[in-house]
């Protein structure tokens, strides 16, 4: 009927009344024939939500769309949350305006509702993101132990508001290294590298380990705070000017060795015991994370062993 008499935007109130009456009559007719089919109650939705938009955009209030690569369910926002369409569809809301309602808010505006600074349970929306460990600064970080065991709120790390809630300037040492402790309880690979140990391969200890210098010499600053990745300036403090170039040389050499070994393993026959052993060495040296700084001689020696295994 509406199609036969013109566009509903010419008289929204009349269109709403017609659709409401049509919905009532359709439900009565379905009841008479004992049909279980129930059409979308657009007219009821218009009345309940008080939005004229639904006269033309029937069903959109139940539709889930993609917004900045995230699922955006209209029902949760419009029906359950009572939001007006104009909260997101800015400018040109009148139906006689060209391209009306097409101007959307930017993603940061969502933070006004979704990320107020509170202790709300972020898992209601972000359960998928925290289910599996993520890689942060070359460290495998599991969300769940920090949340469920440690009792941390998400805002302990995600403390800046913004479109992506970025992680910046997070000092893990606030919790993990409040006091000097036995570092190797958690950092076993790094401790073994420092002492020159890899399974049955006994390499040379780092001369600093031989001298009894512990982790805190490099990984604690003058104010007693943990430093996860100290820069070359820490080397210069003790060893003098120019030693920063030595550290750079170590890291470049081991970095290149790791890349070459990775390429060689890609061409080697998979599943062979020698290839598996070489892969284990590569992963162990990578997991140390220092690229030779903890023990250049052992790292370089192990990469040489790995290359021989697959030649």
**Contact 52/12 with Cβ under 8 angstroms?**
yes
Tell me the per-residue pLDDT of 94-126, one tens digit each, with 9 for 90 and over. Answer: 666 666 766 667 666 676 677 655 555 677 667
Instruction: Give the count of beta carbons closer than 10 Å to the beta carbon of residue 119.
Output: 8
DSSP strand pairing (139-141 vs 197-198): unpaired
Q: Say what the pLDDT of residue 259 is.
A: 94
3-state secondary structure (DSSP) of residue 202: strand
For residue 36, pLDDT beyond 50: yes
- Output the pLDDT for position 16: 66
Mean pLDDT of 127-153: 79
Helix 296-310 and helix 243-267, axial crossing angle in degrees, nearest 10: 20
Domain ranges of the chain: 2-105, 123-170, 183-310
DSSP 3-state assignment of 98? coil
d(CA 29, CA 86): 36
Average pLDDT, the chain: 77
């Amino acid at each position: 009927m509406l199609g036969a008499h013109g566009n509903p935007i010419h008289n929204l109130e009349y269109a709403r009344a017609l659709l409401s009456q049509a919905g009532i009559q359709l439900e009565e007719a379905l009841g008479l024939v004992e049909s279980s089919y129930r059409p979308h109650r657009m007219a009821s939705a218009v009345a309940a939500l008080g939005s004229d938009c639904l006269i033309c955009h029937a069903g959109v209030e139940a539709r889930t769309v993609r917004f900045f690569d995230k699922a955006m369910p209209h029902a949760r926002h419009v029906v359950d949350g009572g939001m007006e369409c104009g909260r997101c569809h800015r400018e040109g809301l009148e139906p006689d305006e060209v391209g009306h309602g097409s101007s959307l808010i930017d993603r940061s505006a969502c933070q006004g509702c979704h990320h107020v600074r509170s202790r709300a349970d972020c898992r209601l929306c972000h359960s998928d993101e925290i289910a599996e460990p993520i890689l942060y600064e070359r460290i495998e970080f599991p969300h769940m132990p920090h949340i469920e065991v440690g009792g941390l709120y998400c805002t302990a790390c995600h403390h800046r508001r913004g479109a992506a809630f970025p992680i910046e300037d997070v000092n893990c040492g606030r919790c993990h290294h409040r006091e000097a402790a036995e570092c190797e309880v958690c950092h076993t690979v790094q401790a073994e590298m420092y002492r020159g140990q890899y399974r049955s391969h006994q390499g040379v200890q780092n001369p600093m380990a031989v001298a009894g210098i512990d982790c805190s010499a490099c990984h604690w600053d003058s104010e007693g705070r943990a430093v996860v990745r100290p820069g070359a300036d820490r080397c210069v403090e003790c060893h003098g000017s120019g030693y920063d170039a030595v550290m750079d040389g170590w890291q470049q050499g081991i970095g290149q060795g790791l890349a070459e070994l990775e390429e060689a393993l890609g061409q080697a026959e998979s599943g062979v015991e020698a290839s598996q052993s070489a892969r284990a060495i590569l992963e162990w040296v990578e997991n140390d994370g220092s690229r030779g700084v903890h023990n250049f001689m052992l790292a370089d020696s192990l990469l040489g062993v790995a290359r021989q295994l697959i030649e």
